[in-house]
Amino acid sequence: MQINSWEELFLELKKKEFFKDLTSFLDEEYKTKTIYPPRELVFNAFKLTPLDEVKVVIFGQDPYPNPNEAMGLAFSVNKNIKVPPSLINIYKEIIIEYKLNIPVPKCGDLTYLAKQGVLLLNAYLTCEAHKPLSHANDLYRKFFIDVLYVLNRVHRPIVFLLWGTNAKKYHKYLNNPMHLVIETNHPSPLSANRGGWFNSNCFKKTNEFLIKNNLAPIKWLNRDYITLK
């Protein structure tokens, strides 16, 4: 069946047993533990980036496990929150690729990317406070198989950026010849400093692909005076 919007997808998902189980699991977790992001923001990425506007999909690991950080967009934090180390490395890589002589941005809100068609996802959309990968379960795997099935059938150019081991597991579900899949290490300090993140040129490769396919490049930094192609 052809899915034309995230609303259609979620209507279909609500009929499936695994999604009912996922909902029940989250209900209990939020009731008994401190879980991030706030419940109303779990599917925030889908709300901010409609299916028909998706140009780039960034796939990370799971939400930030510290208070007030996770906001339902992978790697993003609210404007008044200190930029986390993983996002610092993302900004650093953008600066490296485009040879910019600027400091690392001090605002970590990536809503500006979501509004450009960048779907900011994590392989697991929730976690318990201070416990990374605490929600790494098979229910999320089934959820994202369905999400990627829909994206894989989209008949237009899309770039998938798979960052880290948990994201790379989904490469096998992406085989549309119109799409580009780029794998790198995760930008967290532990992973990035081992190699495979810095100088990966994933941001430039993404924009080169979009431009080649007559699509507007992504403005990776929230600075109007910088055009990154």
> What pLDDT score does 229 carry?
47
**pLDDT tens digits along 68-107:** 999 999 999 998 999 999 999 999 999 999 999 999 999 9
| CA–CA separation, 71 and 39 (whole Å) | 10
- Say if residue 228's pLDDT is above 70: no
> What pLDDT score does 2 carry?
74
Q: Packing angle between helix 17-32 and helix 138-152, nearest 10 degrees? A: 130
Q: How many CA atoms lie within 13 A of 69 on its CB side?
A: 21
Among 62, 109, 138, 146, the one annotated catalytic = 62
Provide the greatest CA pair distance for the chain.
52
> What pLDDT score does 227 carry?
47
> What pLDDT score does 225 carry?
39
> What pLDDT score does 199 carry?
95
First to last CA, the chain: 36
- Say if residue 57's pLDDT is above 60: yes
CB of 75 closer than 8 Å to CB of 60: yes
**pLDDT tens digits along 1-49:** 678 899 999 999 999 999 999 999 999 999 999 999 999 999 999 999 9
**pLDDT tens digits along 104-129:** 999 999 999 999 999 999 999 999 99
**pLDDT tens digits along 124-181:** 999 999 999 999 999 999 999 999 999 999 999 999 999 999 999 999 999 999 999 9
| CA–CA separation, 84 and 125 (whole Å) | 17
pTM above 0.75, yes or no: yes
146 is catalytic: no
